[in-house]
Amino acid sequence: MHFAKVNNGIVEQVIAAEEEFFNGFVDDTPGEWVQTSYNTLGGIHYGQEGVPDEGIPIRKNFAGVGFIYDSVRDAFIPDQIFPSWTLNETSCLWEAPTAVPDDGEYSWNEETTSWIETEGSA
């Protein structure tokens, strides 16, 4: 099991611990420990082969240091990558204003708010 230390809505630490150990764990620093799952991304649970399965997703995304924990959504939300990107309320992941093309490799250009084909990808 994995747990994230959340203080003022920000993830400060992520640890792996057996539930038996964690139940007896004493931590008197500010914040709370919230369970997270490395098998969860975008509100979907993934099995060992990286394929969605019938597992239960926990808090939309696996927590990372610096992520926001939104207790209303009960979700871990990564940093906003670019100012033009918006939060997908279902996955709690940031999305570009336009979908990335599927005919090569692209990187996001925030100045033009568009995808730019990466050199050598054609």
- pLDDT confidence of residue 85: 98
Residue 22, domain extent: 1-78
The answer on 14 and 69 residing in a single domain is yes
- pLDDT confidence of residue 112: 96
Q: What is the pTM of this model?
A: 0.85
Whether 24 has a pLDDT exceeding 80, the answer reads no
Nearest CA to 109 out of 101, 41, 117 is that of 117
The answer on 69 and 19 residing in a single domain is yes
Phi-psi region of 102 (alpha: psi -120 to 50; beta: other; left: phi over 0): alpha
Q: What digits encode the pLDDT tens for the residues 84-96?
A: 999 999 999 999 9
pLDDT class of 27 with cuts at 50, 70, 90: confident
Q: What is the total count of domains within the chain?
A: 2
The answer on 38 and 4 residing in a single domain is yes
The answer on 113 and 53 residing in a single domain is no
Q: What digits encode the pLDDT tens for the residues 44-80?
A: 999 988 999 999 999 999 999 999 999 999 999 999 9
